[in-house]
Amino acid sequence: QKEVEQNSGPLSVPEGAIASLNCTYSDRGSQSFFWYRQYSGKSPELIMFIYSNGDKEDGRFTAQLNKASQYVSLLIRDSQPSDSATYLCAVSSTSGGSYIPTFGRGTSLIVHP
Amino acid sequence: DTGVSQNPRHKITKRGQNVTFRCDPISEHNRLYWYRQTLGQGPEFLTYFQNEAQLEKSRLLSDRFSAERPKGSFSTLEIQRTEQGDSAMYLCASTVNTGELFFGEGSRLTVL
């Protein structure tokens, strides 16, 4: 069974700090990696995706992928109180012709002023 | 609004009743997914469609659950003989083949 593991948190950081969110996955055939943000009572929204080893930056967000270690992370620079949410890691592969993103349980992030 | 639309947003039902949820995906998206989410957990895969074909269904999905996507447009998820354990948020998402999911607002089910 394909598994995606995340520390449920909460991760608490002060405003302006860097928040680091981590995710590990079990399926070595995984090819696509996503980070979603979910505010309380709302549905997930995509904030980053990464397909290749290394770093990918988009504004204050940086996604990092290490396929050898089966590890993906999300860094949020200059964290703001509005970043307080649950961050879901999702992983998928196209093995067998299917494409089913598997989600972790999410990490709760709290950014305090 | 051209996002994913789900109806109803909230449904309260008594145990044993049938419920149906509808999802209207983004029009050019050929893949449509149903997930279920409970408090403190990530979305759990239920089933997905490519156009009108249901390509995969979770082994966790009992026979009380059925989904359709006639003509590859909107989709419905029906739960028969609801149980209290079915209480959850039911999320629909759509995408083109790139795989980045766009979620609807969800349909929250409460089974009394």
Mutate to test the interface with B, among A35, A93, A100 (most CBs of B within 10 A): A100
pLDDT for the residue numbered B60: 76
Q: Give the nearest partner residue to A46 out of B40, B44, B100, using CB atoms.
A: B100
Q: Give exposure, A47-83, as e/b (b: 16+ Cβ within 10 Å).
A: bbbbeeeeeeeeeebbbbbeeeebebbbbbeebeeeb
Per-residue pLDDT tens for A85-111?
A: 999 999 997 766 668 899 999 999 999
CA end-to-end span of chain A:
41
Give the phi and the psi of residue A6 in degrees, each rounded to 5: -140, 145
- For B96, the closest chain A residue by CA position comes to A99
Q: Note the pLDDT of residue B61.
A: 81
Question: What's the pLDDT score for residue B76?
Answer: 98
Q: What is the mean pLDDT of each run of 10 residues along chain B (112 residues)?
A: 91 98 94 95 95 88 92 94 97 86 97 97
B101 to A106: CB separation less than 8 angstroms, yes or no: no
Per run of 10 residues, the mean pLDDT along chain A (length 113 residues) is 89 97 93 95 95 96 96 98 98 76 96 95
Chain A hits for B55, CB-CB cut-off 8 Å, are 98
